[in-house]
Amino acid sequence: MSDIPQERRVRTAIPGPKSVELQARRTAAVAAGVGSTLPVFTARAGGGIIEDVDGNRLIDFGSGIAVTSVGASAEAVVRRASAQLADFTHTCFMVTPYEGYVEVCERLAELTPGDHAKKSALFNSGAEAVENAVKIARAYTKRTAVVVFDHGYHGRTNLTMALTAKNMPYKQGFGPFAPEVYRVPVAYGYRWPTGPENAGAEASAQAIDEITKQIGAQNVAAIIIEPVLGEGGFIEPAKGFLPEIARFAKDNGIVFVADEIQSGFCRTGQWFACEDEGIVPDLITTAKGIAGGLPLSAVTGRAEIMDAAHSGGLGGTYGGNPVACAGALGAIETMIELDLNGRARRIEEVMKGRLGEMRAKLPNGGVIGDIRGRGAMIAIELVKSGTKEPDAAATAALAKACHAEGLLVLTCGTYGNVLRFLPPLVIGEDLLNEGLDILEQAFATL
Ligand SMILES: *Cc1c(COP(=O)(O)O)cnc(C)c1O
C-alpha cells in the first residue's frame, strides 16, 4: 500500500507482544536454520517504512536485503503484477511462452553495460542465476575451472556455497562442495597490508599470478566477482583492480561474470556498479532489486556466449514467472520515472556526510574504522578504537540499539563487524536523517 504513513512510530517494546506470540508459533513450526535479523512480524510495508503487527512503524535501512529499492508496495509493481495475476499465474515459459518474459529480456539488453548483441535467461533466485552463469560459461569455453575472490558471496546452493568465501554461517557442516572452484585475493583497500593506494595493482597482480601458476588460465571457464562485494562487507575493490582482472579474462578467453545481484538496478547510483570503472562484463547476474520484491533473477550477456548452451539445457519450472516479470517491468518503470539513480547518489551524499561527522566527533574516529560504499549501499566497518581489530560485539550492540528505537539496520562482513545501510531508494530524506539520528544516539550507548 503506497498510502502507509511515512513516519516512525514506536508504541510497544520491539518486538511487541503480537510479534512475540507469532515468534513462539514460528519457533515451533519453522526450521531453526532459517534465521531472522529482527523477529518483528510485518503487517505492511512501503516507501521507507515497515509496519509491524503491533502497529510499530520501523524506518527501513535494509530493503529486505537490497530488494525493495522501489519500496515494498510500489504502485507500478502492484498494478502490473495484480493485472498479470488475474490473467494467468503460470504456464511455464518452457511449455507455452508469454510476452512479459521477452520484454524483461529486452529491457535487460538495453540497461546492462555494452552495446553488443545480448540475450538473457530468467530464473527465480540469485543463486540460481549464478549457477546458470557457470553452466553457460563452461558450455561456451569447454573449460571447467571457476575463479572467485576472498570475501565473495554468491549464494547458498551447493555450487554457490563453494563460490562463497565465508564459512559460518553459510557453509559450516554442509559440504562436500562442488569441485573446480578457486579463490584468489581481492583489493580490500582498508585491510590491504601496504595501504589502499597499492591495493588495486598488488591484489590484481597476486590474483593473476595465482590463476596462471596454480590453475592455468587455459583451464578457467569464468571469473566471477561482485563489483561491490555485498555480504563480505560492502567492499569496493580498490581502483584499477576490476579493469585489470577484466583485461586478463579477455586476453585469456575467460568469461568475465559480474555478479550484480546486490549492487545492480540503481543501488549504487548507476544501473550497474561495474559502470563505475567502465567495465563491460561478458555475463552479468541480476536478482534482488530487479522486480520490486517478487522472486526473479537473470543471466544477461553476449549473445554468442548465452547461446552456447544447447536447447533445453537451461530453464526450470518457475523461471521467469509471469507475475514476477510484470513486477520487474513495474520496478524498472519506477526506477526511470523517479530517477532512482539520482536518488541513490543523494542518499550517499547525505549518509556519508552524516557518518563523517559522527566519526569526527569520536576520538581518533572511535569504533568507526572505515566509511565506504556507493549510492544507497553504504557501510561502516567497526574496530576496537585506535586499531584495525574487528569489533563484532560493538556492531551487534549498535544494531540492537537501533532496532530498539525502530530503525532496521543489517550487519555483514567476513568478520561480522560491518553495519550496512540499504534503504529503499524511495525513502524520504526526513526519514533518512531520522534514521541517522538514531544511529548517532546508538553510539552513545556503546
Ligand atoms: C544475495 C546474493 C546472491 C544470492 O541470491 P539469492 O536470491 O539469495 O539466491 C548472490 N550473489 C550476490 C552478490 C548476492 O548479494
d(CA 7, ligand 1 centre) in Å: 30
> Does the pLDDT at position 147 exceed 70?
yes
**Could you tell me the residue range of the domain that residue 330 belongs to?**
77-337
Supply the pLDDT for residue 446. Answer: 85
pLDDT in tens, 388-440: 999 999 999 999 999 999 999 999 999 999 999 999 999 999 999 999 999 99
Within this chain, do residues 217 and 347 fall inside the same structural domain, yes or no?
Answer: no
Task: Establish if 1 belongs to a structural domain.
Answer: no
| Mean pLDDT score, 59-83 | 98
Within this chain, do residues 384 and 437 fall inside the same structural domain, yes or no?
Answer: yes
Please tell me whether residue 49 adopts helix, strand or coil conformation: strand
Q: Which of 262, 265, 410 to mutate to test the pocket of ligand 1 (most atoms within 8 A of CB)?
A: 262
| Mean pLDDT score, 185-202 | 98
| Mean pLDDT score, 13-33 | 98
Within this chain, do residues 116 and 47 fall inside the same structural domain, yes or no?
Answer: no
Domain count, the chain: 2
Within this chain, do residues 184 and 104 fall inside the same structural domain, yes or no?
Answer: yes
What CATH number corresponds to the domain at position 217?
A: 3.40.640.10
**Residues β-bridged to residue 388:** none
Q: Which of 69, 288, 318 to mutate to test the pocket of ligand 1 (most atoms within 8 A of CB)?
A: 288
> Using CA atoms, how far apart are residues 299 and 203, in angstroms rounded to an integer?
27
What one-character-per-residue DSSP string does 374-406 give? ETTEEEEEEBSTTS--B-HHHHHHHHHHHHHTT
Within this chain, do residues 290 and 360 fall inside the same structural domain, yes or no?
Answer: no
pLDDT in tens, 335-380: 999 999 999 999 999 999 999 999 999 888 799 999 999 999 999 9
Nearest to 145 by CA among 183, 181, 184, 185: 181
Which of 272, 304, 337 delimits the end of a domain?
337
Which triple of cell numbers denotes residue 88?
494467468
Backbone angles phi, psi at 283, to 5 degrees: -130, 150
What CATH number corresponds to the domain at position 433?
A: 3.90.1150.10
Within this chain, do residues 363 and 323 fall inside the same structural domain, yes or no?
Answer: no
Alpha helices (runs of H) in 51-124, residue ranges in sequence order: 63-66, 75-87, 99-111
Residue nearest ligand 1's atom 8 by CA: 126
Which of 289, 320, 337 delimits the end of a domain?
337
Within this chain, do residues 174 and 307 fall inside the same structural domain, yes or no?
Answer: yes
Sequence-separated (6 or more) residues with CB below 8 Å from residue 33: none
Within this chain, do residues 281 and 384 fall inside the same structural domain, yes or no?
Answer: no
Task: Establish if 307 belongs to a structural domain.
Answer: yes
Task: Establish if 206 belongs to a structural domain.
Answer: yes
d(CA 249, ligand 1 centre) in Å: 23
Supply the pLDDT for residue 365. Answer: 79
Within this chain, do residues 199 and 333 fall inside the same structural domain, yes or no?
Answer: yes
d(CA 261, ligand 1 centre) in Å: 6
Which of 295, 314, 337 delimits the end of a domain?
337
Cα angle, residue 278 at apex, residues 274 and 283 outer, rounded to 5°:
50
